[in-house]
Structure 1
Amino acid sequence: MSTPPILALALPSATGRVLSIQSHTVQGYVGNKSAVFPLQLLGYDVDPINSVQFSNHTGYPSFRGQVLNGEQLWELIEGLEANNLLFYTHLLTVCDPVMGDEGKLYVPPELVSVYREKVVPVASMLTPNQFEAEQLTGYRISSEKDGFEACRVLHHAGPSKVVITSLNMDGELFLIGSHQKSKSHPPEQFKIVIPKIPAYFTGTGDLMTALLLGWSNKSPDDLASASELAVASLQALLQRTLQDYEKVGFDSKSSSLEIRLIQSQDDICRPQVRYKAVKYS
């Protein structure tokens, strides 16, 4: 007697179903390890595809692991499609490797044009840091006004929502957000001033992008409110991370800190907004 085929039906999600294509590390929280759990806490079904699988992030003296190539990635996509499982409300991907930060390019210069010409036009939301925004726009950001103008340039390229997650100038750190709800109207723009924490953390950009996706989908017409909630969760998590390292006598300035993600579940689910968005006109 033959065995009947197994039919597994993936039920739709009330909040959303996310395909997250990012790096994976066995130890620590970067890439998918930093993004999947927070989105699940916010009520999303998340299916991760690991673009790399490393023992640890590359900031350590050494690492081991594998890199998923294009053919292997496509094989996974085809497997989902063959079983009618390739249906998602959101695609979350952080360009891996990240373009760069703090004035340093992490990828070959010729790859920047690929991001600019192929990735940006199909994105609905873009979350670059200051350096990445400069690379994508060719626009030097040396003031708040420059940051908002860079957002407009990126809107013109495609995305309706742009959040430059960290601008560092004149001793101040802040986030800039911009939402162009209609091509015939100017974007709604704002900034959130963020306190500086005297330490370096890993995985914060991946976490911030996930939080922005989660909260902006819950409030699709209010990017400022979504950004306030994302900033609130991230800041509470970073403060907890710093405090926990200092409790055991670790010098927080000596190396990067692994974020305390699991210990910050309440801050992710129920963030307490302390830093408010200020509209830009």
Structure 2
Amino acid sequence: MGPNTARGPTEPEPCWPGPNGRGQPTSSPRRFPRGPPHQGIQPVRFARDGPASGRTPPSPSTRPRPPRSAASASPPTAAPLAADRRVLLVGEVGPTTLPAFLLQARNEYDLLLVGYVGNKSAVFPLQLLGFDVDPINSVQFSNHTGYPTFRGQVLNGNELWDLIEGLEENELLHYTHLLTGYIGSVSFLNAVLQVVDKLRSVNPDLTYVCDPVLGDEGKLYVPQELISVYQQKVVPVSSMLTPNEFEVELLTGLRITSEQDGLTACNTLHSAGPRKVVITSALIEGRLLLIGSHKKTEEHPPEQFKIEIPKIPAYFTGTGDLATALLLGWSNKYPDNLETAAELAVSSLQAVLKRTVEDYKRAGFDPSTSSLEIRLIQSQDDIRNPARTCKAVKYS
């Protein structure tokens, strides 16, 4: 699957979550049409950014350089400190994409993360939530593919494994988490499965969070043959699964037309492996819902809940990757309370999206004319300490 056939995470997206089409605009339950939404639109300059601040960065020729001499040769590299949270993230990366992530945490958690639609949307939030992140870019693009053109490279499975071997040779393979997102070929997905096995041979307690990006609203973003690989190989080794409505239908063979259908689908996925399942968006009876399910023990039924997601009349890039990162981060802080983790993740994302719309409007831009680049840096307080504005309702 070449760069020009990449799936929708790089397309304009609705309010929740995003790159995978997991979200809907207020005016319509349908996705924004495919194509170059940014064509003919000039970059927006926000008043508090760039030259308006009155600060001009020094040119490369005027930046101070440290003195170099034979006596100032680099010292030997110190071994890394033991990580508390270390994530390996593997996925797609433009300055805004996410297929998989390599996250590396030097304090309490490690996460593997690959892929600002992907890595760019996920790395900074995970760092704010206490992770050291090692991102592996499955694609390295000049910009995300929602723009008229893009250039860059695509990583193949052998190249991914080469990076893993380099980490292993230096004893750097102890990760607490692995996060994967969009993967466009069977060969690369099989390489990711090898990575899961390798990481668990080092740390059997590795948490694998899988965002099974397959498509949205009846449209596949990936080759058909990936579905069976996810069903037979990926779902059984996942700790947490975050599909959208269409993806959960593909994985389970069940049609989601009611909340009960969503709960049944979660139970089906639990029986295949993952303890935690979050259907990140399901449009049911005109409402956009997140449906979560946590099976804590084999002996007891799962704890299940829903969160109604407010609709925002705009489209965004990078929200799907941000949503997955927030779910991972908050579920790590609340490992036994998926309900609280989901409330914080949805509330945080809504705050980021509202700030994004407000900033574009202040800059004189009509948010309805194109997809918006989310304002992550300006929203870091909402990521680190969100007000809990979206509440979960438990199913009895």
Find the counterpart in structure 2 of residue 57 from structure 1. Answer: 144
Moved more, 246-255 or 149-158: 246-255
Helix, strand or coil at the partner of 1:88: coil
Find the counterpart in structure 2 of residue 19 from structure 1. Answer: 88
1:160 and 2:275 equivalent?
yes
Give the one of 357, 360, 369 matched to 1:245: 360
Alignment check: 8 A CA contact 1:241 1:260 kept: yes
Q: Percent identity?
A: 70
Q: What does residue range 65-144 of structure 1 map to in structure 2 within 5 Å? A: 65-97=152-184, 98-144=213-259
Query: What displacement does 1:119 show?
Result: 1.2
Find the counterpart in structure 2 of residue 280 from structure 1. Answer: 395
Find the counterpart in structure 2 of residue 181 from structure 1. Answer: 296
Find the counterpart in structure 1 of residue 121 from structure 2. Answer: 34
Matched residues in 2 for 1:230 and 1:220: separation? 14
Find the counterpart in structure 1 of residue 79 from structure 2. Answer: 9
Helix, strand or coil at the partner of 1:57: coil
Alignment check: 8 A CA contact 1:13 1:44 kept: no
Alignment check: 8 A CA contact 2:318 2:374 kept: yes
Unaligned residue ranges in structure 1 (runs of 5+): none
Alignment CA distance shift 1:148-1:10 (3 Å): same
Alignment CA distance shift 1:195-1:27 (3 Å): closer
Q: Deviations over 1:228-264 (max 9, x none)?
A: 1101110000111111222233332222111111111
Q: Deviations over 1:173-196 (max 9, x none)?
A: 111100000122110000011111
Unaligned residue ranges in structure 2 (runs of 5+): 1-72, 98-115, 185-212
For normalisation by structure 2, the TM-score amounts to: 0.68
Alignment check: 8 A CA contact 2:96 2:119 kept: no
Q: What does residue range 208-227 of structure 1 map to in structure 2 within 5 Å? A: 208-227=323-342
Moved more, 226-235 or 165-174: 165-174
Moved more, 92-101 or 116-125: 92-101
Helix, strand or coil at the partner of 2:130: coil
Alignment CA distance shift 1:209-1:4 (3 Å): closer
Alignment check: 8 A CA contact 1:27 1:55 kept: no
Query: What displacement does 1:7 show?
Result: 4.8
Helix, strand or coil at the partner of 1:192: strand
Q: Deviations over 1:134-175 (max 9, x none)?
A: 111111101111111111111111100000111112221111
Matched residues in 1 for 2:75 and 2:166: separation? 16
Alignment CA distance shift 1:261-1:5 (3 Å): closer
Query: Once superposed, what is the RMSD of the aligned Cα atoms?
Result: 1.7
Q: Which amino acid in the other structure matches residue 226 of structure 1?
A: A
Moved more, 95-104 or 108-117: 95-104
Find the counterpart in structure 1 of residue 195 from structure 2. Answer: none
For normalisation by structure 1, the TM-score amounts to: 0.94
